[in-house]
Amino acid sequence: MRVVVVGAGSVGRSIARELILRRHQVLIIDKYADEDRSNSVPDASWLLADACELSTMREANLETCEVVVCATGDDKVNLVVSLLAKTEFGINRTVARVNNPKNEWMFDEAWGVDVAVSTPRLMTALVEEAVSVGDLVRLFQFQQGKATMVEITVPVDSPNVGVAVGQLKLPPECVLVGIIRDEVPIAPGPYDAIEARDELLLLATPEAEQSLGAVLTGRPADQIRTHSPAGD
232: in domain: no
- Judge if 7 and 113 occupy the same domain: yes
Tens digit of pLDDT per residue, the chain (232 long)?
899 999 999 889 988 998 898 889 999 999 988 888 889 999 999 999 999 999 999 999 999 999 999 999 999 999 999 999 999 999 988 999 998 888 989 999 999 998 888 665 556 655 655 556 677 777 777 655 678 888 888 888 889 999 999 999 999 989 999 999 988 889 999 999 999 889 899 999 988 988 998 999 888 888 777 766 443 4
What was the pLDDT predicted at 138?
Answer: 78
165 and 66 within one domain:
no
Q: Nearest CA to 45 among 3, 81, 77, 1? A: 3
Of 79, 106, 132, the one marking the end of a domain is: 132
Domain count within the chain: 2
pLDDT at 176: 95
Helix spans in the chain (H):
10-21, 35-40, 54-59, 75-89, 120-132, 209-217
The contacts of residue 160 (CB under 8 Å, 6+ apart) are 154, 168, 194, 215, 216, 218
Residues 6 or more apart whose CB falls under 8 angstroms from that of 52 comprise 77, 80, 81, 84
Nearest Cα neighbor of 82 from 117, 114, 47, 60 is 114
Last residue of a domain, one of 79, 107, 132: 132
165 lies in the same domain as 81: no
Closest CA to 80 of 54, 61, 48: 54
Domain termination residue (choose one: 74, 99, 132): 132
Longest dimension (CA), the chain: 59
- Beta strands 25-29 and 45-47: pairing type? parallel
pLDDT, residue 231, reads 39
Domain of residue 216: give its range: 136-227
Q: 51, 31 in Cβ contact below 8 A?
A: yes
**Same structural domain for residues 117 and 154?**
no
Q: Name the burial class of residue 160, with classes exposed (0-12), middle (13-18) and buried (19+) by CB atoms within 10 angstroms of its CB.
A: buried
Q: Give pTM, 2 decimals.
A: 0.57
- In whole angstroms, what is the distance from residue 197 CA to residue 54 CA? 35
Look up the CATH number of the domain holding residue 204. Answer: 3.30.70.1450
